[in-house]
Structures are given as C-alpha cells and as structure tokens.
Structure 1
Amino acid sequence: MSDTDKEYVLVTEYFHPDTASTGQLMTDLAVGLQERGLDLTVLTGQPNYHSGDNDKQPSVSTHEGVLVNRIRAPQLRQSSFLRRGFNWVVFTVWMFLKLLVSRPRRDREVIFVSNPPFLPIAMWLVCKLRGWDYTYIVYDLYPDFTVETGYFDAGGTVDTVWSTLNEHIFEDATHIVALGPVMRDRIIANAGAEFDDSKIKIIHNWEDEEFIEPKAKDDNWFAKDHDLTDTFTLLYSGNIGENHDLETVVEAAANLDEDDEVTVLIIGQGDKKDAIVELAEQHGLRGSRIKFLPYQPLDDLPYSLTSGDVSIVTVQEGMEGICVSSKLYTAMAAGMPVLVIAQPNDDETQIVQACDAGLQAAQGDAEEVVDAIRTWTDDPNLVKEQGENARISFESQFTKDHSIDRYYRLLDDELTVTPDAVAQRSKTDSRARQKVSR
C-alpha cells in the first residue's frame, strides 16, 4: 500500500501505444508504480510518433490498471520539425491549463520528463501556483541540447533566459532523476549556487529482460532472411537523429578492405536518415556493405535487435551529460558487445567499460572504429566474452524491475516493495510484452 495522503500525476507526451522509446519507458514506469501501490494517473497526448498506424485513442481510458487522460487537441504525425514543434506547443499549453484548473482529491505530486523541451518550465510554473511537489526526470538536458545541436547560440538571449529558468526548476524540485553520473554532474553545474545536489538520484533507463534475450544468429530467422549469418554484423537500431553520430560508422565501413566480411545494418528512421543514406551512396556502400531497413514490427523486435554480432550505440560529440542513449540497455540485453561511439568521459562509455561489455571509439575517428571491428573479427572469443558480460551486467543492474523499484523508493521512501507485488509484476510481464524500437 502507498501513502493515501498523496496522488501522483505522470505527464508525458508519449505513452502506450506510441512507438517512441520515451513512451514505452513511461508506460513501464506508470504500470510498475501502480502495481507497487502508488495512486497514479497519466496525462498524455495522442499517438503521433513515426508509426503512422496508431488509431486515435479515447480521451479517457485505462492501461493495465493505470488511468490515462489524453488531450483532445489535434496532434500531427511527426514527419517534420515544424509538425513536431506544433505538437510540442499544443501539448505543453494544454497540460499547463489542464493542471491549472484541475481539482486534486488529495495532496499531489507531478512527475514529468524533459520532453517536450518547454514542458519543465510549464510544469514548474503550475506546481508553484498550485503548491504541489514535483519530480523532474531529465532525459535530455535543455537548453544545452539546443545549443549543441545549433538551434541557439551559447550565451545568447534564449540560452541565458532558459538557463535562468532552469535554475529555479532544479532548485524547487522535490526530486530530480538523472540518467547517469555525467548527467548528474552537468545538472549540478547548471543548477546554481543555492542548489541542493542531494535531491538528484541516478536511475538508469532499462529494457525488458524477457522480451529481449540473446539469440544465436544461426537460430534467428531475421538474421537468415537478411543474409547476416555469414558476415560479421554491426547493428544500429532506433532513431537516426541529430544527436546520433552515424557518419563515423559510414566512414569506417568505407575504410574497410574489400575482403573484410563485415556488414553494417542500420534500422530506423529520423531527421538525419536521408543524409546518412546519401553518405553511404557516395561511398558506393548502400545495399552492399551498409544495409538500411525501416522500423520493424513489434513482434519482430526480439529477432531484429539480436541479429548482429555487435550493437552500435552512438552519440554526437558535445552531448556528454546532456542525454544517455536508451539503446545502450537494449544492446546489453541482447547479449552482444557494444561499439560505443562517444567521448571517454561519457555515461555510455563509462558503463560499457565498467562492465567490460564492448569497445569505445571517439566521434569522427573512423580508423578507431575500424580497429575495434578488427579486434573483434580477429578474436571471436572476445566477442563471446564481452557479449556475455553485457547480458550479465544488464541482468544485475539495468532490468525494468531494478529501475522502477528505485523510482518507487524515491517517490515513497518509507515503503518497501512487497513479495506479493513482485510476484504480481512477474505475472503481468509474462502476459503482455509491448516493446518498441529504441
């Protein structure tokens, strides 16, 4: 049982059945917290992320026991930045107004993520006006993200005003969740001199250990269908966005020898996909050394995500502490070594190296990527060992229950997770697997 004197509201743009990774993570979190006894309601939008086949959802419904309220305003399919920006504005304004006029039954705590970018400002303001506690989950750190991706100048008016507002958001929060130590340190550096850094807790994102399990390529129909069984395969699966450095992967593939039996499989969509495809075509690699596929159907993910020999996790240079790729946890769950293309001091690099679960290369250093590939192709035992390390470390640190238990203790630290609740979660997990591409 939870504290009957408080109700919790989770505000997230994406929620089941949306295909965004944030939507699946927030769905897992809401269901998990409800199962553990928290009185939780979700406020969310209509499905609008890439899939194109999600029917409009009712304004009020339940999902695995969680009450879900959706905005009635129009939401556009995210086929361009302008359409995405329209959704951000509509969602943020709608949630601010809905919470402002709402009538809570008891004391309330609002939980929200850092996307859309201006949502934290709106949630901070409404919580200040209503006198509510709030928990801020930092998935992407703004305005740092927009500065590093070139949308605003560092030290400019937008950056300065936004940063000042962020200091108040951090200072007034009841809890702040960072996805890794480097992100935590960057939040502390941004939060101002009066900030109490003890309110930051590191809680990693997760993967479902029963949905994604290691599979040998010889036993994997997806690997067979796409001619991956007889070639050393580097797999990237997920969003191909501005903060993902796949250019280095393409350049490395171009630097391999013709007789190197290596294939790069890139699965997904995103704002930068056309540019990556064009780069591969310029090198004459598309369809031969580098293969491209769209997002895969839900039921195929346990096979597509385990069809390689090595998983690629890559971030853009300058993103240290600004975001932590959720692909990392899926890659480790798949039981493959991880090629992490990031700086040595990045959260992704530190996790992979601490677990001895892969190799690191710096962004832009194609030769370093080639060296990593040849290290693996020359030593199959290393591939096997690092893959096993990835899965073992994942099971001990990064499963869904590990992380949601931490959220539960953070939100209600006087309570403990009961054996009955754990048993109920196991039954629920075995009944319904609704995972999406990362």
Structure 2
Amino acid sequence: MSLVETDEAPSILFINQHYWPDFASTAQHLTDLAEYLVEEGFDVHVLCSRGHYLSGSMDVPVEETHNGVHIYRVRATAFGRDTILGRLTDYASFYSSTLARVLAGRSYDYIVTLTTPPLLPLVGAIAKVLRGQRYGIWSMDLHPDAEVAAGMFQEEGPAAQLLHVLNNVGYRGADFVVDLGTHMKRRLHEKGVADDRLHTIPVWNRKDEISPIAHEQNPLRGELGLDGKFVVMYSGNAGRAHRFEEVLAVMKRLNGHPDIEFVFVGEGPQKRRIEAFAEENDLSNFRYLPYFPREDLQYSLPMADVHLMTLREEMAGIAVPGKLYGIMAAGRPALMVGPEASEPGETIQISGAGRVVDPRQEEAPAQALHDTLLRLYRDEETRTRLGTNGREAFLEHFERAECCRQWTALLREQVRAENEPATAPA
C-alpha cells in the first residue's frame, strides 16, 4: 500500500560520514535538512561516524535522537584528513560498517546517500539489488572525477577506470539524484543518469545565522585587532580543488600595505603551502586562523570587507564551493579566481554579487586579481552594492527554508511513487 493512503510518516535514512555536532560542510547541510524534514512530518534517520572532520573521534553516543532526528554512528577509524592513507582508511572502514548496517537493518521508504566517502552511492545500489530498497543520491561532489582532476589518479589508469565503473553503477541505479547546478548536472548526464532523475537543488545558508553586520558592531574585529583594517578573507577548506597561485602573488605584492589584511580561516591540504609561502616571504599583513564554531560564523563572515574564492578550471561541475552562500548571506562581495563557466562563477555574475577573475581569459590573471582587489578597496559604494545584490539573491534562491522546501517536495513526490516496483540497476 502506498504511503499516500496511510497516516504513516515517510521514513528517510540519510547516510554520510559526518553529521552534527561535526562542523564539516556536508554535516551542517545534512543537519539543516534532516531537522527541517522532521518539522514537515518525516521520520528521519541518519547513519554516520563518530569521526571528526579534521581528525580524531567526537565524544558522542553510538545512538541518540537530536531535534527529532534518530542518529546512528557506526564503528569506523578516525585518522582524519592529514594524509591520503589515513583518509582512505577512514573511508573504507565507514563504507564496510555502513553496508553491513544497511543490509542487516530495517527498510526505509528511501535511503539518501551523500558522497562522503566516495562510492557511498554504491551502498544504495547494493541495497536495491539485494533488498529492493529505493534510494536517492545527494551529489555534493563527483568521484573519482575530483581525484582525477587533482592529479591523484590518471584518467586512463586502471584505478580511475574501476572507480568510474563502480560509481556509475551507483548513480545510474538511483531513483533520483540531486545535483548542485547546471555544470554538475551536465557531468552526471554524461555518466548515464537519465534527465528525468536529475533534480537541481543548491546548498544554502541560514538567514537566522548569518546577516550583514556593520564593522563597528562586530566584536570579533576588535578581539582580533582588525579595527580600521580592510580585511580580505578566505574562509573554508583550502583543498585540492582550489587554486592559490594568483592569490599568493597578490599577497606578496601587497605585503606591508598599511590597511589591507589577508585573513585565512580553516584547514585543508594546501594550508601548509600557504603558510610556508607567507613565512618565506615574511608577509606582515597575513594570518591563518582555525575554523570558527558554527555559532560564531555570524561574526566571522561579516568581519571581511571582501571574500576570496578560488576554483581550478578542471573542477567546474565537480566541486561546488558552498562558501559562496555564506558570503552572500553576510552581504559581502565575493572575489573569485576561477572559471566563469562554473556554478559559483555564474551565480556571482548573474546576481551581481562580486567579481570573477577567470585565468583562461586573462593574459596576466595575478595582475587582474591585484587590480580588481584594489578597485574594491578604494570603492566602498561598489562593495556595498555588490554585497546588497548578493544578500537579495541569497534570500530568494539560497536560503535554507527555500532549498529545504524543494527537498521536501521532491521526497514527497518520490514516496508517492513507492508502489511502483523497484528495478535493479543495469
């Protein structure tokens, strides 16, 4: 019998390596969505690990219910992101524990897998073959496309080819796939995912957590000694998907500027490279801060005058930096180094929320970044206009309530079709 004909709450199991109280981006977005769905009458469960996004385990119970969401944390290693071997070990242990739990546990109206760790959608495909379990995918990024683009695997090598086959089985067998934008949708279509199974829902931020704050009302600027400074901030993961050649060149050129301060916040594989460059060049107006807790983002993001973003050309459609929506929520202009033909590049241009320096279209991209940054530094009126544009676009398209509303409608539609027999992936 279809759930449309009963009073039962639709049951959804989300699977991702990270969840509350971890501060990984995927953990925060999944927490937002899961708790929203509870309010909409869904029976929501989450399967995750106790591993912290950076390294080590969190002191949290194996099972608990938080804000109506039933959380189950499987046994897995927690070496963290410092080494590739440690990360792969974490992935493998979480994957095996999750697959065992899914195959031995209860059935749900839908399982929704995210994409951390890579190949996680394959869990859904196996459950569909062995148990007739329906599943969907929330495609936060694409694997092994990201690893190939980062140079970790050769595109034509046996490892990449095997991973592509396994990953494609997971995607092609899904009842639905949520992508983050037109460029990711194109890549998924090329992988063989049918158009009628692809649904675009962007990630988001929350208007009740981040809003424009005047510098004189922001206590964090005073605490960090940034009063009177023009703060150029890079906030978030400094990962392999990002390019910093132009940013580092501009930092060196503006070294010692009496007003401009470069502030990096977060972690990532390229953090050591950035810090080593700053030390080698004795940069005096640079600092690297650890991640702020989520409750402090209301002060850290508006602390900037301009936010830096970067994306490697080959990562367009593979990785979609969600940090843009926090920047827009804070009412600050985004200055991106990366392809205009990408999700963030197009969002910035269409909404008028900042500037994009595309290295493919500039003979001297570092010079273009330098000149664009100085123009923003000198023109407060333009900065205000760009920030206002970004805030307005955020409220209309990238706020939590709007995006989660789209998710709710999609899941209800999928559950209504539950009485149709599931088919095994090819």
Correspondence 1:9-408 to 2 at 5 A: 9-50=13-54, 55-104=58-107, 108-191=109-192, 195-256=193-254, 259=257, 261-285=259-283, 288-363=284-359, 365-408=365-408
Q: Distance in 2 between matches of 1:227 and 1:220?
A: 12
Task: Report how far residue 372 of structure 1 moved.
Answer: 1.2
Question: Which consecutive residues of structure 1, in runs of 5 or more, have no partner in the other structure?
Answer: 417-438
In 1, the alpha carbon distance for the partners of 2:322 and 2:368 equals 23
- Secondary structure at the counterpart of residue 406 of structure 1: helix
1:241 offset after TM fit, Å?
1.6
- The two structures, once aligned, show a CA RMSD in angstroms of 2.2
Asked if 2 retains the 8 angstrom alpha-carbon contact of 1:234 and 1:263, the reply is yes
Q: CA deviation at 1:303?
A: 1.1
Residue 269 of structure 1 aligns with an amino acid whose one-letter code is E
Q: In the aligned structure 2, how far is the partner of 1:325 from the partner of 1:130? A: 35
Task: Sort the Cα spacing of 1:275 and 1:8 in 2 relative to 1 into closer, same or farther, 3 A.
Answer: same
Q: Is the 8 A contact 1:233 1:264 kept in 2?
A: yes
CA contact (8 A) 1:248 1:366 kept: yes
Whether the 8 Å contact between 1:117 and 1:142 is mirrored in structure 2 is yes
Contact between 1:255 and 1:366, CA under 8 Å: does it hold in 2? no
- Contact 1:409 1:415 (C-alpha < 8 Å) held by counterparts: no
**1:8/1:108 contact within 8 Å kept:** yes
In structure 2, the CA distance between the partners of 1:2 and 1:73, relative to structure 1 (3 Å rule), is farther
Local SS of the residue matching 2:234: strand
Q: Distance in 2 between matches of 1:257 and 1:305?
A: 23
Tell me: CA distance 1:388–1:211, structure 2 relative to 1, closer, same or farther (3 Å).
same
Measured after TM superposition, the shift of residue 414 of structure 1 is: 8.2
Q: 1:2 touches 1:412 (CA, 8 Å); kept in 2?
A: no
User: Deviation at 1:244?
Assistant: 2.1
Counterpart contact for 1:206–1:326, Cα < 8 Å: yes
Change (3 A) 1:414 1:182: closer
Residue identity matched to 1:14: H
**Amino acid of the structure 2 residue aligned with 1:202:** T
Identity of aligned residues (%): 30
Offset of residue 399 of structure 1: 0.7
Which residue type is aligned with residue 358 of structure 1?
G
Query: Once structures 1 and 2 are overlaid, which stretch shifts more, 342-351 or 300-309?
Result: 300-309
Contact preservation (8 Å) 1:310, 1:336:
yes
The more displaced of 137-146 and 257-266 is: 257-266
Q: Which residue of 1 aligns with 2:410?
A: 410
AA at the equivalent of 2:144 = P
* Cα distance per residue 1:34-57 (max 9 Å; x no partner): 2111222111110422376x7422
Q: CA 1:357–1:260 in 2, change beyond 3 Å: closer, same or farther?
A: farther
Q: Give, in whole Å, the separation in 2 of the partners of 1:132 and 1:48.
A: 29
Q: Deviations over 1:124-149 (max 9, x none)?
A: 22222211111111111111101011
Distance 2:345 2:260 in 1: 23
Q: In structure 2, how many angstroms separate the alpha carbons of the residues matched to 1:173 and 1:3?
A: 26
- Write the distance in 2 (CA, Å) between the matches of 1:78 and 1:142: 17
- Contact 2:234–2:308, Cα closer than 8 Å, also in 1: yes
| Displacement of 1:123 | 2.6
- The range that moved more, 121-130 or 201-210, is 121-130
CA distance in 2, matches of 1:297, 1:411: 31
The alignment status of 1:8 with 2:12, answered yes or no, reads yes
Q: Return the alpha-carbon distance in structure 1 between the equivalents of residues 354 and 409 of structure 2.
A: 31
**TM-superposition CA deviations, 1:159-213 (whole Å, max 9, x none):** 222223333322221110111111111111222xxx4212111111011111111
1:19 and 1:50 in contact (8 A); partners too: no
Q: Distance in 2 between matches of 1:414 and 1:99?
A: 20
- Does the Cα contact within 8 Å between 1:247 and 1:276 map onto a contact in 2? no
Tell me if structure 2 keeps the 8 A contact 1:2–1:38. Answer: no
The 8 Å contact of residues 229 and 260 in structure 2, kept in 1 or not, is answered as yes
CA distance, structure 2, for counterparts of residue 136 and residue 292 of structure 1: 35
Q: 1:89 and 1:264 mapped to 2: Cα distance?
A: 38
Q: Provide the secondary structure at the position in 2 that maps to 1:13.
A: coil
TM-aligned CA distance change 1:148 to 1:73, over 3 Å = closer
TM-score relative to the length of structure 2: 0.90
Q: Deviations over 1:316-375 (max 9, x none)?
A: 231010010010111111110001121010110100110000001135821121121122
Q: Which runs of 5+ in 2 are unaligned?
A: 417-426
Provide the C-alpha distance between the structure 1 equivalents of 2:349 and 2:225, rounded to a whole number of angstroms: 31
By how many angstroms is 1:384 displaced?
Answer: 0.6
Partners of 1:158 and 1:226 lie apart in 2 by 46
Q: d(CA) in 2 for partners of 1:2 and 1:35?
A: 19
